[in-house]
Amino acid sequence: MTILDLYKKVYLIRKAEERICQLYPEDKMKTPMHMSMGGEAISAGVCQALNKEDQVLGSCRSHALYLSKTGETDEFFAEMFGKATGGSKGKAGSMHLNSPENGLMSTLAIVSGGISVAVGAAFANKRIKNNKITAIFFGDGAIEEGCFWESINIACLMELPILFICEDNGFAKNTPISKRHGYESISEIASKFRCNVFEEEGVDAEVVYNTTKKALDIMKENRMPCFLHFNYYRYLEHVGVNQYFDEYRPKEEFEEWRKKDPVELLRKRVSEEDAVRIEKEQDEQIEKSISLAESAPFAGKEEAHKDIFYEKDKL
């Protein structure tokens, strides 16, 4: 049932991140943390609408995407703790997550870096006619990169099966959008391309799910890419596990958004019995994964030069 699946996803993400916030000060997780908190509904809703074999790629802020697409936490926490059992054997950390068996191709720390890769994947899918959709998630800051414009242009020109998902929290680090964009509306600009454009608030996972389903239906008919623009509020600082307020991010603004918290919104729509059962299952899964990760070994030195591209002779 979709609402239960959605609640399970948003709860898992929130709880996993709350545990990261508690554990991070112990300094055992040696990776920068770009927290998804506040934006859970976007990944949860989009991934619920996709098939398992559809592909997703994301930005440095992709805990929510990973957990939504995979539902697994063993490799996730192992990667946070830098352990050999992590998805990248502990060598990549929080910003570079992957789980190809679940369709998560990669998350990338370079702002907009995944967008052209996703277009390449969509091109391949179209050529081999496998009906897979590729969804690329990026922040509003990625739209300032040339890579975004080149990518959306070629995707529209070639009519590729791709969803561009803009997770717009109004900030790139601490700079607000009004100090960065020489135009008023991201969706309006995107609508000048030959693609299907949707804009919604990204706090209600059911709304995000329904919007994505609609986008996929239209895409099936007209075979054009989709651009989905979702607004949300980042609860924590740009990088790190603490809250951050300043003149551009006043606490009152956070408190307004907090009234439509993605987890609380959905909890009101499921029965108490279902909510308690889901929360217990997810809590147990998370605690098991954390203890497995803490007791797992680090990768040996022989792993240092594996899984990377390099010119052997130059080392």
Ligand X SMILES: Cc1ncc(C[n+]2csc(CCOP(=O)(O)OP(=O)(O)O)c2C)c(N)n1
Which residues form the interface with ligand X (CB under 6 A)?
59-61, 109-111, 139-142, 169, 171-173, 238
When the beta carbons of 146 and 297 are compared against ligand X, the nearer one is 146
Please state the closest distance from residue 34 (CB atom) to ligand X, in A.
Answer: 6
When the beta carbons of 141 and 262 are compared against ligand X, the nearer one is 141
* Positive/negative CA dihedral, 227, 137, 186, 210: positive
Please state the closest distance from residue 274 (CB atom) to ligand X, in A.
Answer: 31
Closest to 30 (Cα-Cα) out of 104, 83, 84, 72: 83
When the beta carbons of 2 and 187 are compared against ligand X, the nearer one is 187
Please state the closest distance from residue 179 (CB atom) to ligand X, in A.
Answer: 13
Please state the closest distance from residue 110 (CB atom) to ligand X, in A.
Answer: 5
Identity of residue 259: K
When the beta carbons of 65 and 275 are compared against ligand X, the nearer one is 65
**Closest residue by beta carbon to ligand X:** 139
Question: Which whole-number Å values give the CA distances from 237 to 173, 185, 212, 250, 293, in the listed order?
Answer: 8, 24, 28, 12, 26
Burial degree of 213 (CB within 10 A; 0-12, 13-18, 19+): middle
Please state the closest distance from residue 38 (CB atom) to ligand X, in A.
Answer: 10
Please state the closest distance from residue 81 (CB atom) to ligand X, in A.
Answer: 23
When the beta carbons of 93 and 161 are compared against ligand X, the nearer one is 93
Please state the closest distance from residue 312 (CB atom) to ligand X, in A.
Answer: 28
β-pairing verdict for 171-172 and 175-176: antiparallel
* CA angle (273 as vertex; 271, 275 as ends), nearest 5: 70
When the beta carbons of 172 and 215 are compared against ligand X, the nearer one is 172
CA distance linking residue 99 with residue 87, whole number of Å: 7
When the beta carbons of 164 and 171 are compared against ligand X, the nearer one is 171
Partners of residue 198 on adjacent β-strands: 228
CA distance linking residue 20 with residue 220, whole number of Å: 39
Please state the closest distance from residue 186 (CB atom) to ligand X, in A.
Answer: 11
Cβ 208 vs Cβ 202: under 8 Å = yes
Q: Classify 55 as helix, strand or coil.
A: strand
Q: Classify 22 as helix, strand or coil.
A: helix
When the beta carbons of 139 and 262 are compared against ligand X, the nearer one is 139
Q: For the chain, what is the radius of gyration of the CA atoms?
A: 19
Q: Classify 8 as helix, strand or coil.
A: helix
Q: What is the DSSP letter of 269?
A: T
